[in-house]
Amino acid sequence: MNTRDGRLITVILPAGAGHGLLEKLVKEKGLTTVFLHHARGTGLSGVLKRKGLAQQIEKDMVVAAVSTGALEDIIGFIYEEGGVGKPHGGFIYIEKLSALRNSA
Amino acid sequence: MKDTLKDKRITALTDVALITCVVQKGMADDVIKAARDVGAQGSTVFYARGYGMRERLGLLGVAVDVEKEVVNIVVSTDQADRIFERMSVAAKMDTPGMGFMYMTHLNKAVTYIPPEVLEKLQPK
């Protein structure tokens, strides 16, 4: 893929959920420009929210670079299959890419 | 295969920006606290290795750790500048070798929005 009209999708998921989503993106959507890394997250959620304390918890981050044409389809897939549409399921954000190229 | 887009209405946030702050390992917590103090709701942090400044600073470079922490915070555009400034002060960006930070505008962001919140956001 070689395009100047791409989007970078970053998905923040609970620890352990990233690998499953990554596999689905590769096998069911045929993505080759996707990777996974770990992070720690801070946020106001769960029981600690009532005490005003932000909890730090392990997260998985899945990053995928896609063409603009495939964007809506992939976001919908991640929302459903990645569990982002459920409470505390995660977060997705999308950035515009100036250039995207891969070796496949 | 189920068509997820047609079957489910997904509400996306559009006036959002991403602030990325690369600092020396151990400094992320101060940066995150500064951002939270002015309204940031959450953050993610991961580790990385950074090169460049250490070599350019000569003898002072020994004080620059190669190990970095990268802090990502998604903010609304109306809060973005304020949070960015606070983070830059907390990260000591006025000191050589402490790191760098940048902000990018996001196309959209998607997460679970509770129905009661979504109802308040609907145009009347």
Residue of A nearest to B41 (CA): A43
Nearest in space to B50 (alpha carbons), one of B106, B103, B101: B101
For residue A100, the model assigns a pLDDT of: 83
Q: Which of A28, A42, A61 would you mutate first to test chain B, the one with the most B CBs within 10 A?
A: A42
Predicted TM-score (pTM) of the model is 0.81
ipTM given for this complex: 0.73
**B110 interaction partners in chain A (CB closer than 8 Å):** 75, 79, 84, 91-93
Give mean pLDDT in consecutive 10-residue pieces for chain B, a chain of 124 residues. Answer: 50 92 93 94 90 70 80 94 94 87 92 84 70
| Tokens 């998985």 found at | A60
Handedness of CA B87, B89, B92, B94 (dihedral sign): positive
- For the stretch B11-33, pLDDT in tens is 888 999 999 999 989 999 999 99
For residue B3, the model assigns a pLDDT of: 37
CB B72 within 8 A of CB B20: yes
CB B24 within 8 A of CB B64: yes
User: Taking all residues of chain A, what is their mean pLDDT, rounded to a whole number?
Assistant: 85
Model confidence at A52, pLDDT cuts 50, 70, 90, reads low
CB B106 within 8 A of CB A93: yes
